[in-house]
Structure 1
Amino acid sequence: MSVFPLRSDARRPRRRRGAFLAALAVSTVVLAACTGGGGGDGDAGESTGPAGSADAVIDTEAVLRVGSAYIISSLDPGAGTSGSDQQLLYFLYDRLTTFDPETGEVLPNLATSWEFSDDGTEFRMQIAEGVTFHDGTPLDAQAVVDSLTHYKELGVQLDLAPVQSMEAVSPTEVVLRLDRPYSSLPSLLGDRAGMIVSPTAVETLGDGFASAPVGAGPYRFVSQVPGSSLTLERNPDYWKGEPQLAGVTVTFYSDETARLAAARSGQLDVTTVLALPDVEAARDIAGMSVVETPSVRFGQLFLNSAIPPFDDRNVRLALNHAMDRQAYVDAVTEGLGSIAFGPFPPSSVFFNSEDAFPYDPEKAKELLAESGTPSIQVTCQTFNAAGNDVTAPLLVAQAKAVGIDMSLDVRDTATSIANMASGQEPCLFSQWGGRPDPAMSLTQLYSTSGTYNYGQAKHGRIDELIAIVDSTFDQDERAAAIRDVVGELTVEAPHVPLYFNPLFDLVGDRVVGWEPNFQGKVDFSGVALAK
């Protein structure tokens, strides 16, 4: 059996059945940061002013003011569907595992150690002692089981589908029994599934839990104005030590001009995910610095292959060949991004989609003719967000040029994603961010149990190939298995990837401890403000 010890300098597990997973993921992201015109990885990991200073004097009464372009979809980790939620959920919830922000290695957290059985179908975790939730409930093994059960029962995120049963065998030990080997498990417990919620609050509040969430993270919920703001306060009983901020306020902006104006007038300490056309203007804001964050975030048209017109593979392939991806790189990313034919860039060890869908309008028309529907009308969901206003007319024009009459239904983020999640909408333009493990992206986007495979349609051999990835623990063999999945994506065309999108954040010079990570989702729950 393989064991993950608490300290990175302690004995390593014999088969390394989890630590290498995120290391493979980071090889994608770090190399991706070196591609395109994004300035290389030298700028990506740097922060300026006190943010990188170990001798800054911390203002422990300060409140961090964050400006976000993305409205959180839910404050219940298991109920949300937006990839941008995690940055805010990190404040409220501690996770079973975490990861090294630079190397991506999976590290202990609430789970102080873990092990797989030799056949990979049993997973044991040791849980940290002395941790309590914000409401005073002990965070013990039974609380972990209750939280994981809540996550599964919500049925929104399906990444715990292989878990058939759970048991707290002692106050500090949890056993998960799986229906098959699942090598991604340690990594995904550092994401939504591993964000442990208070069982007392879930039982008491029921469906209202997301309106008054209770976790065990460094900050406690105070209030929210849905779609407008979120207010948090310091958790003085945080098990890792009292946080350095008195609190956090997050303001959600639907207007990029207003958000940049707020930063310029000194109303914000951090502005996450700048609109790319605003990056150069943001560099001139006094007292703040633009920081590039490594990312493999990519923009794509998500398709629902379970309903017309995208239940026909030829229609999906036609739409892929209708896209002039370089036009998106130039117009949407200001030339800073790169073309996307799949979920990993060419610099990644998982890349296997070279020129998969060359821009070829004539071929697109031929594929539509073969489908029997040479003229198609379709309405796709989308929302107001940085770059979407540029993407929208390109999508409509390029689709129309081959005989697909596309219109866009623009809503707020939560509504458009919820509409698509209903399984009744054919398409959604959005972006996909990194995950702690590359197989998580493959499963969530393309498998029949994938939350973002809207309609849960089966695509060729993808399910079978992902199962091989899940059952493989050897690093090189697993990378090869992931490449096999990516190759099948070029045959089945379940979605329409368009461009890799660099990320830029605007960070105040008083900010201390700003630490970009390989997912492109900064965990700034450990951030402080200098006096």
Structure 2
Amino acid sequence: RMLDKSFGSPRFNEVNLVTGVTVVDPYTVRISLEKPYSPFLAVLSDRAGMMVSPAAAQKLGKGLAREPVGAGPYKFVEKRPQERIVLERFDQHWDKNAGNIDRIIYRPFTDENARLANLRAGELDIIDQVAPTEVPKLRTDPVLRLLERSGLEWQGVWIMVAGPPFNNKLLRQALNATIDRGTLVNVVFGETAVPANGPFPPALFTYDVPANSRIPERNLDLARQKLRDAGMPSGFSFTLKITPGRVAQQVAQVIQSMAADAGIKVNIEIVEFGAILSQGETHKFEAILLGWSGRPDPDGNIYGDFVTDGGLNFSAYSNPRVDTLLDAARILSTRDQRRRAYGDVMNILSDELPYLFLYWPKQYKVLGPKLQGFVHISDGMMRFRYSWLNP
């Protein structure tokens, strides 16, 4: 199903090296790959490996997304857009120790203060993410439990390198030199994020690649020199597209203020999320403030974004050496070998700057007093397989 291009699965690029699946016995399958692919087990541990019912997939086709049938201890009941998603315990599940909650209701709250207030009032049992100002207070809260982990995601600015003004690398370097990542994180996020310079947050084994973990300092003299070298000593202007919301607006305004100190004018344009994805995919932008949710293997945090014609390569970036190194990192089998390949990639990306990595958000969950047994995973997804509610 995922390999059928006509189906349009968003997981196609994660499994497109699969050439065959053979049933060996009732508990074993053999998966054949076109070529060695060291991230494959990590891929199967993530979204692409989440099993669905073959019968339901065949019957519903693309409608499976509206009536999903999976293999977990809870079954789908209903989805009301912008209101709720409801699951109920599946009593016939094979693991009798799983599925200890009768009913799970997911409710969207766009206002982070309302989300926390509902948790305090007992209307919710767990919430996803909190306002940075609430974190210090929640650490010592006598009733609620704050869970914190390094996340897998990265956030920053896509730069369109195939058109003006940023087809001039010197202008990309000038803009990058104006940004103080530490100040940006402190102003907008406090302790809930970490300054970044690459796609590998602390939760990944490639975090310590020097060009990834070494955070560049702001250098206005360097920025002005790059502008002079580019033939634009008085600066230039560009449009930075952002999605609606407080955080995106604050980050954009900090970038705008910092860039102005070197004579770079940043025009901020707010675009609806779906539209901004479409504009990214069709390369109709100068700069976009947008990140990536992250994957458990480094390949999922870099390959599709920077390989030539990659499905997530909004910048239209292309470098044959980067392509070779990214392909090599998929074949190499040890962490040290892969770390060296990614290190070479990051040395190139840090110079050519098709993307300005700004920060790595931390992952937070806040639990009410009833919810027990919840395991907090770096990918941020809420899993309730062995959780239960106290009376």
Fold similarity call, TM over 0.5: yes
Q: What's the CA shift for 1:384?
A: 2.0
The aligned runs of 1:142-181 (5 Å cut-off) are 146=1, 148-150=2-4, 153-154=7-8, 156-157=10-11, 159-160=13-14, 162-163=16-17, 165-168=19-22, 172=26, 174-181=29-36
The aligned runs of 1:71-150 (5 Å cut-off) are 146=1, 148-150=2-4
Q: What's the CA shift for 1:465?
A: 0.7
CA distance in 2, matches of 1:293, 1:395: 27
Query: Given the alignment of the two structures, is residue 447 of structure 1 paired with residue 307 of structure 2, yes or no?
Result: yes
Query: Given the alignment of the two structures, is residue 352 of structure 1 paired with residue 207 of structure 2, yes or no?
Result: no
Provide the aligned C-alpha RMSD in A.
3.1
Partner AA of 1:192 in structure 2: R
Please list the CA deviations of residues 83-142 of structure 1 after superposition, one character each: whole Å capped at 9, or x if unmatched.
xxxxxxxxxxxxxxxxxxxxxxxxxxxxxxxxxxxxxxxxxxxxxxxxxxxxxxxxxxxx
Tell me the residue number matched to 1:31. Answer: none
CA distance in 2, matches of 1:364, 1:355: 19
Partner AA of 2:3 in structure 1: T
The aligned runs of 1:43-442 (5 Å cut-off) are 146=1, 148-150=2-4, 153-154=7-8, 156-157=10-11, 159-160=13-14, 162-163=16-17, 165-168=19-22, 172=26, 174-241=29-96, 242-282=98-138, 287-335=143-191, 337-344=193-200, 350-353=208-211, 355=214, 357-371=216-230, 374-384=235-245, 387-411=247-271, 413-442=273-302
Tell me the residue number matched to 1:19. Answer: none
CA distance in 1, matches of 2:6, 2:41: 17
Partner AA of 1:195 in structure 2: M
> Gaps spanning 5+ residues in structure 1: where?
1-145
Please list the CA deviations of residues 404-447 of structure 1 after superposition, one character each: whole Å capped at 9, or x if unmatched.
43333435545544543444334332344442112221213322
> Gaps spanning 5+ residues in structure 2: where?
none
Contact 1:423 1:454 in 2 (8 A): yes
Residue 285 and residue 264 in structure 1: after superposition, are their counterparts in 2 closer, same or farther (change >3 A)?
A: farther
Please list the CA deviations of residues 271-313 of structure 1 after superposition, one character each: whole Å capped at 9, or x if unmatched.
1111212223445766312222233544312334344444443
SS in 1 for 2:13: coil
Contact 1:378 1:404 in 2 (8 A): no
The number of residue pairs the alignment matches comes to: 384
Tell me the residue number matched to 1:86. Answer: none
Residue 450 and residue 153 in structure 1: after superposition, are their counterparts in 2 closer, same or farther (change >3 A)?
A: farther
Partner AA of 2:151 in structure 1: S
Residue 315 and residue 488 in structure 1: after superposition, are their counterparts in 2 closer, same or farther (change >3 A)?
A: same
Contact 1:379 1:426 in 2 (8 A): yes
CA distance in 1, matches of 2:177, 2:385: 42
SS in 2 for 1:379: strand
SS in 2 for 1:205: helix
Please list the CA deviations of residues 371-426 of structure 1 after superposition, one character each: whole Å capped at 9, or x if unmatched.
456413213132326x3343131022223333443333435545544543444334
CA distance in 2, matches of 1:341, 1:479: 16
Partner AA of 2:117 in structure 1: A
Please list the CA deviations of residues 450-476 of structure 1 after superposition, one character each: whole Å capped at 9, or x if unmatched.
443225531452211111111111232
Contact 1:384 1:412 in 2 (8 A): no
Taking structure 1 as the reference length, what is the TM-score of the superposition? 0.64
Residue 508 and residue 154 in structure 1: after superposition, are their counterparts in 2 closer, same or farther (change >3 A)?
A: same
The aligned runs of 1:447-466 (5 Å cut-off) are 447-448=307-308, 450-454=310-314, 456-459=316-319, 461-466=321-326
Contact 1:384 1:410 in 2 (8 A): no
Taking structure 2 as the reference length, what is the TM-score of the superposition? 0.85
Partner AA of 1:221 in structure 2: F
Residue 411 and residue 216 in structure 1: after superposition, are their counterparts in 2 closer, same or farther (change >3 A)?
A: farther
Contact 1:294 1:520 in 2 (8 A): no
Residue 459 and residue 261 in structure 1: after superposition, are their counterparts in 2 closer, same or farther (change >3 A)?
A: farther
Tell me the residue number matched to 1:123. Answer: none
Q: What's the CA shift for 1:502?
A: 2.5
